[in-house]
Amino acid sequence: MQICHRDLKLENTLLDGSPAPRLKICDFGYSKSAVLHSAPKSTVGTPAYIAPEVLSRQNYDGKTADVWSCGVTLYVMLVGAYPFEDADDPKNFRKTINRIMNVEYVIPSYCKISPECRHLLSRIFVANPNKRIRIHDIMRHPWFQKNLPRDLVLGADPSYKIEDPNHPLQSIEEINRILEEARRKPAPPPPPPEEQTSNTEEDVMLDALDEMEFFDVENSGEFDLSNLR
């Protein structure tokens, strides 16, 4: 469908509940169509998952940037931490962005990750998007192919893609309608009760973002990175 998601992260994935669960993507609020829209330029997404070229404030290939975010998601699943966060200062987003731009990450020695998986991560975490591995190459990578269900092998005709007359596939128009609804700004939440004194984790996160001048979102989902220059 030629769609780039632009906010791929662990929180935007679901398991379908089948005996061999398949990962599905949700929340297409920042997505763009390569057919219907111009090349993306806005710096949107979640800081820990953003590719270097998305921070450049130039046009970029959204699908290639999504590959980077997929690599971050895979790393988080394997390690339980973000690859570009400073372990000693994880809330310092300025450090996180600098580490992303310089592709500074390590795999902890206590994590037993196969050489094939390490190689795949090294092909994903490449600053130059033109040299980064593509989705079709990932699908042929030895780590991806290992123990892959037969119906998911590249070129196979998986049974789960056969249209069920009771549950027909969504039309392009219906998908676009869902995307438009997802882009609508939600109603502001009600103010918390006066007696509430403790901050939730999300509150703490928002407080930290408020303190960072270059995260001037202005309800647009875009970052102002001028202070990093």
State the Cα–Cα distance between residues 171 and 41, nearest whole angstrom.
27
Residue 66 is among the residues annotated as catalytic for this protein: no
Residue 22: strand, helix, or coil: coil
Point out the catalytic residue in the list 7, 27, 151, 203. Answer: 7
Contact criterion met (CB below 8 Å) for 16 and 25: no
State the Cα–Cα distance between residues 152 and 160, nearest whole angstrom.
10
Contact criterion met (CB below 8 Å) for 213 and 229: no
- Of 32, 29, 33, 53, nearest in space to 43 by CA: 53
- Of 89, 74, 81, 100, nearest in space to 223 by CA: 100
State the Cα–Cα distance between residues 55 and 225, nearest whole angstrom.
8
Catalytic residues: 7
